[in-house]
Amino acid sequence: MGNFLSPPEKESSNNNKQPSVQPNSRKRKKKSSSLTRESYNVKKEKQKGRGKEKEKEKEKGSQKLKRKRYNTNATKKPRQQTQRISQTQQTQRKSQPQQNQNLELTKRKRPIKRKVVLMFSYCGTGYHGLQIQYGELKHIKTVETDLVQALIKCNAIHPRNQEDVKKIGWSRAGRTDKGVHSARQYVAFKMEFSYDEEQMVIELNKHLPSHIRAWGIRRVPKSFLAHKRADSREYAFLLPTFLFSGKKVQLIEPNFETKNNFVDDKVLFDKFDSEALSFLNQKVFSQFVGTHNFHNYTKKKNFSEPSSKRYIKRMEAEEPQTIGGIKFVLIKIHGQSFMLHQIRKMMTIAITVMRGGEKLSFIEESFGQQQLRIGIVPGDGLLLNKVFYEVYNNQKMGGIDKGDIYFEEKDQQIEEFLQNKIYKKVSQLEKENHTFRRWLNNYYQYPIERK
């Protein structure tokens, strides 16, 4: 009996030894693992569902694109019809008066802008220089104010750009002072092409006053700047010959030194003839040619400043000519660049030497370190004659030959403009205002001073 009952006792003893918590904990672990598996499976099913939804959305999107393509292909013919209708409307508008044409211009698309350079001439009498002014000086009349207004009327630039021409990349070859003229001035800007170049010049001249004339337009690269691309400039000065000769000239006010109202000085030449002309070119003007320090010929420049040095290529006076009953001589000065009042003070020195006020050596002395007070000849006869773009003309910009910037074919028309609009105006002003005679009177009262 004992043997029979022993195994169950062992089992019971073993059961009693094991803790009661272990079976429950095992069951809990099994439950937690089953929950994680279920949640994992649910997530997978959700992801699969989302993937199917995305695929459905892609299919819908592709179907929409196909429908759009089909619709565009289907509506091509009606678009062609609307274009034909607009063309017929345009032909009808052409027959309508000019008021409807202005409406058409406002509705049309903006034309493409191209960088161009414009060459033009102008008589500077009555203008306060070339450059357009803004702000407090907006009311001042300049040459560019009339030019910009004419360009707006031709639809070459937008009206909003007149407030600041820098927006269209505006640059000029050289600035001219009050009353100074120009035979060949250049401005570069972005132009809206409503016409071709030749027709644009014709339309522009219709809106310009008679003393401003446009001659030609050339396309240039976007980076083109009219003043920086210029290699050199040539100015011309139309002056009465009595400034250089010993002819007695009646003054507006009496000269207190001579106690009369006539200029009577120890001049080199009694009259301005061929001998006086050759002396002026060979002895006087030749001393200005080359590189010199022109600090005495401008404002606020010192001898030590590198920018005071300027290079003059050529300076020569032409044969005298009679304009409006007054004998004038045209002097041309070709240089790399010029400073403010430089040319006008150069003329003062030349007149001083020719009238015996100073010796020939005084010209070389004026380039020295000593400061001089030099008067300024009136600028009524001064004009910008030519601007040279030799380096630019010899190279093809961007592989495209856009044409030379000179317009040689317009030389004869420009010469006629000079004779009729500028030279005659200078002679007329001298007759009416006696500008150079008055200056000669002040010249004797306030000669050149050494500081």
**Residues with catalytic function:** 177
Give the number of other Cβ atoms within 10 Å of residue 257's Cβ. Answer: 10
Among 421, 443, 228, 431, which Cα is nearest to 350's? 443
CA separation for the pair 16, 5 (Å, rounded): 17
Task: Give me 136's structure tokens.
Answer: 């407090």
Residue 232: which of 384, 395, 20 has the closest Cα?
A: 384
Residue 401 C-alpha from the chain's centroid: 21
Is-contact 107 86, C-beta < 8 A?
no
Task: Let me know: does 200 contact 194? Beta carbons within 8 Å.
Answer: yes
- In DSSP terms, 219 is beta-bridged to 116
Q: What are phi and psi of 320, to 5 degrees?
A: -65, 155
CA 370/CA 389 separation, integer angstroms: 36
Residue 53 contacts by C-beta under 8 Å, 6 or more apart in sequence? none
> Two tokens at 166?
């820098």
CA pair distance 83, 406, nearest whole angstrom: 43
In 77-211, DSSP assigns E strands to 113-122, 171-172, 181-192
Contacts of 319 (CB under 8 A, 6+ apart): 277, 329
DSSP annotation string for 112-151: PEEEEEEEEEE--TTSS-SS---GGGTTS--HHHHHHHHH
Gap between the Cα atoms of 174 and 322, Å rounded? 29
Binding residues for substrate: 235
- Residues forming a β-bridge with 249: none
8 A C-beta contact, residue 217 and residue 197:
yes
**174: amino acid identity, one letter:** G
Backbone angles phi and psi of 30, in degrees to 5: -65, -40
**Structural contact between residues 440 and 255, judged by C-beta atoms closer than 8 angstroms:** no
Q: Do the strands 113-122 and 212-219 form a parallel or antiparallel pair, or are they unpaired?
A: antiparallel
Q: Which residues are annotated as a binding site?
A: 235
